[in-house]
Each structure stands twice: as C-alpha cells, then as structure tokens.
Amino acid sequence: MRAISLALFFVPLILTGLLTHNPSFLALASAPTALLPALSSLVPMDKRRYLLKLRKIEVKAEITRRKTETKIRDLS
C-alpha cells in the first residue's frame, strides 16, 4: 500500500523532471527518501504490523528490566 502511494507521488515528479530537463523536479523526487520513516508513521498500520511493533517495544522493555535487575543484584 505504501509503495503504491509513494509511486503515485514520485513517478510524476521524475517524469516531469526528465521531460522538462529541470533538475529541481528531480531534487524534489530524491529528497523525500530521507523522510521515509516519517511517511511510514503517517500510513495507517494494519493489526499485524501494530502487534509486531508493540511486541518489539515489550521485548525491549523486558531486556532493559532484566539488565537493571542484574546490575542491582551485582551491586548488592
């Protein structure tokens, strides 16, 4: 879904830049690649992706909790 929406945005910019020989259109098409993480947050997630992201956050919190417990135990 995200690929289709990005293609609908980038393809006209690239074609316009190639047809008009105006590099500013090509710059517009290449600049947003750095913004892809921000664009992905704007695209609604499906339930599976949401649960996967939630699970990653839970696992990271569990690892941090265990490391903290280990450090506290080692200091005692």
pLDDT digits (tens, 9 = 90+) for 35-51: 666 666 666 778 888 89
The verdict on pTM exceeding 0.75 is no
Q: Dump pLDDT digits (tens) for 5-23.
A: 666 666 666 666 666 666 5
Domain boundaries, the chain: 1-44, 45-76
- Token pair belonging to 41: 């947050």
Model confidence at 52, pLDDT cuts 50, 70, 90, reads very high
In this structure, what is the dihedral angle of CA atoms 38, 39, 43, 48, given to the nearest 10 degrees?
-60
- DSSP labels, 8-54: HHHHHHHHHHHHHT-HHHHHHHHGGGGGHHHHHHHSPPPHHHHHHHH
Does the pLDDT at position 60 exceed 70? Answer: yes
